[in-house]
Amino acid sequence: MGLIPYKNEVYLDWTEEKNVEAMRAALKDVGSRLGRSYPAIIGGRRVETDDEIVSVNPADPSQVVGRTASATEREADMALETATSTFETWSRTSPEARARILLRASAIMKRRKFELLAWEAHEGGKPWFEADAQVAEAIDFLEYYAREMLRLKDGVEIYSVPGEESRYTYQPMGVGVIIAPWNFPTAILTGMSSAAIVAGNTIIMKPSEFTSVIGAVVAEIFEEAGLPEGVLNFLPGYGSKVGDYLVEDARTRFISFTGSMKTGLRINELAARQIENQRWVKRVIAEMGGKDAMVIDDSADLDSAASDIVKSAYGYSGQKCSAASRAILHADVYDEVLDKVVEKAKALKIGGPESADVNVGPVISEPQFEKVSSYVDVGKQEGERVLGEDPGDPQGGYFISPTIFEVEREARVAREEIFGPVLSVIKARDFDEALRVANDSPYGLTGGVYSKNRDHLELARREFKAGNVYFNRGITGALVGVQPFGGFGMSGTDSKAGGPDYLPLHMLARTVVERF
Ligand code: NAD
């Protein structure tokens, strides 16, 4: 196929009036379509369920964004049956044809970009810049995985012994259960689903219960792109109600999960148990939480370090698995960096995503609001709060202001994933100690070092225990194809989404040898 080389989708420029106007129009348009119902889609058929999931706007919980089906075991069973039978045909469809559907889905997302951004703002509470980065990432996944499939379609080179031909190729695996989180409802859902599909698998797509309407929009886009019925079965539902059933079923070949450590470990455990009629060892791709640290040493550009700490800690209200939730500062620059961070964080504009200049939106849901609020209480006991206020009444929106605690490294707020706009600042005697503190975590997703000292950078290059390590820059916003993403330790299986090793995780490698 004669495709142009892969290139990341360019972010929108919000200083251009035409973009601002297009976004306002999309917010209005999507605003006029709120409250609709979205059934499950199984084998192309719309399937209603007895119960529903009511999705609300986190900036204004009285506003219902939409109602989706809430799947039970009955619908899960139908979806697994359909995906199993459709696998017979889809797995035999040419890789080129499968790739073309991703490219078409990408073109549709580009055409419907402002609408997708507006759904992100309404259902995800995303500020415009964050929504744009996320939709761009979804487009990148489609473009990148389409090209990756074309790269891998004839297998990869291996050696043959004289008189024989050895071939090493990849084949589709089977039915995949795709379980996504709410924090990147367009990008992660699209990325996990498109990788599985382009590799020739059929899927059950289960979005997060907090962003099921965006899930429905993504499912519709694949449908519009011409994906045959039954390849993607859209199954909105509560993880607690339908998750175990999907994971345990003998028809499930693999599970691609992104979410919390607790759920990921449960999935891993359930998938490992063999049940009646099961004919394979289920594969689990699980990308989980983080407690990501930025280390600032005494040689660093302190202004720039402080700006990137603030961006990495408070982008999307700290609800990124890659977010900086610990800043570990060399004692000699501690006060100066902390002052700068406080000053810059104070300047952030908090609010519902009505305009381009809002930096920090609400957290996603009432349970998340309660969880983060309880950590704010814990932090107040454990250390000194140098920025932030007690959260207000969640009925007015799930807003929590950027918060900073000065704490010791053992503090719970410095060890447990909070997933909100809360930063723990820790003092270290020297660089070695700072790196030790950074590594002293069961997680290992992202990490950063700000330094001009070559020895420190080289040490961190080798020893920083994280799947994605960044020097002298922020630690969030991994670009597809440029910064393949996935964590060490309890952050997951290090699948490296958006990288060259990702698609093979969704396929079976096959060796065929012929002697002549
Ligand atoms: P979560 O674990 O609560 O839910 C994730 C998904 O799992 C949802 O779709 C949910 O319905 C489903 N689920 C819940 N219980 C289940 C069960 N028993 N069986 C099967 N599925 C079940 O996580 P969340 O709150 O949606 O997302 C936030 C978490 O995701 C954070 O910990 C964050 O760090 C992590 N995350 C990680 C990455 C990464 O790439 N490593 C990216 C984004 C988010």
Chain segment 385-397, per-residue pLDDT in tens: 999 999 999 999 9
287 is catalytic: yes
Beta strands in 139-212 (DSSP E): 164-172, 175-179, 202-206
What the block records as the tokens of 436 is 């030790």
What the block records as the tokens of 438 is 């950074």
Chain segment 127-181, per-residue pLDDT in tens: 999 999 999 999 999 999 999 999 999 999 999 999 999 999 999 999 999 999 9
Q: Is any ligand 1 atom within 6 A of the Cβ of residue 180?
A: yes
Distance between CA atoms of residues 9 and 436, nearest Å: 37
Q: Whose CA is nearest to atom 12 of ligand 1?
A: 239
pLDDT at 1 > cutoff 90: no
Chain segment 192-223, per-residue pLDDT in tens: 999 999 999 999 999 999 999 999 999 999 99
Q: To the nearest whole number, what is the mean pLDDT of the chain? A: 98
Catalytic member of 148, 287, 406, 417: 287
Share of the chain above pLDDT 90, in %: 99
What is the predicted pLDDT for the residue at 74? 98
Residue 387's alpha-carbon distances to 116, 327, 361, 403, in angstroms, are: 34, 14, 17, 5
Distance between CA atoms of residues 361 and 350, nearest Å: 6
What the block records as the tokens of 422 is 């809360």
What is the predicted pLDDT for the residue at 321? 97
- Candidates 204, 211, 212, 260: which one to mutate for ligand 1, based on the most atoms within 8 Å of Cβ? 260
pLDDT-derived band at 35 (thresholds 50, 70, 90) equals very high
pTM of the model: 0.98
Chain segment 227-269, per-residue pLDDT in tens: 999 999 999 999 999 999 999 999 999 999 999 999 999 999 9
- Candidates 183, 263, 495: which one to mutate for ligand 1, based on the most atoms within 8 Å of Cβ? 263
- Count the neighbouring beta carbons within 10 Å of the beta carbon of residue 283: 18
What the block records as the tokens of 146 is 């389409």
What is the predicted pLDDT for the residue at 356? 92
pLDDT-derived band at 117 (thresholds 50, 70, 90) equals very high
Catalytic member of 123, 130, 321, 417: 321
* Ligand 1 center–CA 205 separation, angstroms: 14
Q: Is any ligand 1 atom within 6 A of the Cβ of residue 321?
A: yes
Average pLDDT for 78-96:
98
Share of the chain above pLDDT 70, in %: 100
Higher pLDDT among residues 353 and 233, named by residue: 233
Average pLDDT for 488-511:
98
- Quickly list DSSP for 8-66: PPPPP-TTSHHHHHHHHHHHHHHHTTTTEEE-EEETTEEE--SSEEEEEETTEEEEEEE
514 is catalytic: no
Strand pairing class (292-296; 446-450): parallel
